[in-house]
A and B are shown apart, each in its own frame.
Chain A
Amino acid sequence: DGGITQSPKYLFRKEGQNVTLSCEQNLNHDAMYWYRQDPGQGLRLIYYSQIVNDFQKGDIAEGYSVSREKKESFPLTVTSAQKNPTAFYLCASSITKGLETQYFGPGTRLLVL
């Protein structure tokens, strides 16, 4: 069953804590993306990766870090430097040749305790 999985569904962060959001895909897509969505707003790009071991900053990368060690996986770490992390985090993937339609995982909702 092909698709994109994100875990956990809900995540709670304490002050000063780093947390990592998981994103895995078995679609054999080369590119993966992380977006943040705040209530009533559209999606803002945090980071994206076109190939393994390479990634680029999006519009709001400060306070976040990523890695791309495997094609299937693109974890996002929300660091303590991100002062307002409460949001809905969406991972997506796409092919990189031709029409780069992005498909989304179910999302992770991050809340601050």
Chain B
Amino acid sequence: QKEVEQNSGPLSVPEGAIASLNCTYSDRGSQSFFWYRQYSGKSPELIMFIYSNGDKEDGRFTAQLNKASQYVSLLIRDSQPSDSATYLCAVFPDTGRRALTFGSGTRLQVQP
């Protein structure tokens, strides 16, 4: 069973701070990595994907990937109360099952 691990939280940050969300994965051959945001009672929505080592920035969001350490993170700059949600990390394998494996998610709370 390929695993994707996330700290369940809650991670609490003040408004305007940087929120740092982390994810580790066990399948060393994984090629694509995704971050989804899920508000309570709603379906996940894609925030970012990354497949090369290093950083990828999109607005207030930065995804970081380190394949050697099997680690992917999401930074949210200038956190807003509207960012309060559960953030799901997902990994797509190189071979085998052609579907995403999800972590259990980290709940983020941004305090006004």
**What residues of chain A have their CB less than 8 Å away from a CB belonging to chain B?**
31, 33, 35, 40-45, 48, 50, 56, 58-59, 90, 96, 99-107
Name the interface residues of B63-112: CB closer than 8 Å to any CB of A.
88, 90, 92, 97-105
Name the interface residues of B1-23: CB closer than 8 Å to any CB of A.
1, 4, 6, 8
7 residue pairs of the A-B complex, CB under 8 angstroms, read: A31-B98, A35-B102, A40-B8, A42-B4, A59-B1, A90-B43, A106-B43
Check B32 against A100 for contact (C-beta < 8 Å).
Answer: yes
Q: Known: A100-B92, A105-B43, A106-B42. Is A43-B102 also a contact (CB below 8 A)?
A: yes
Question: Interface size (B, Cβ < 8 Å)?
Answer: 26
**What residues of chain B have their CB less than 8 Å away from a CB belonging to chain A?**
1, 4, 6, 8, 32, 34, 36, 42-46, 49, 51, 88, 90, 92, 97-105
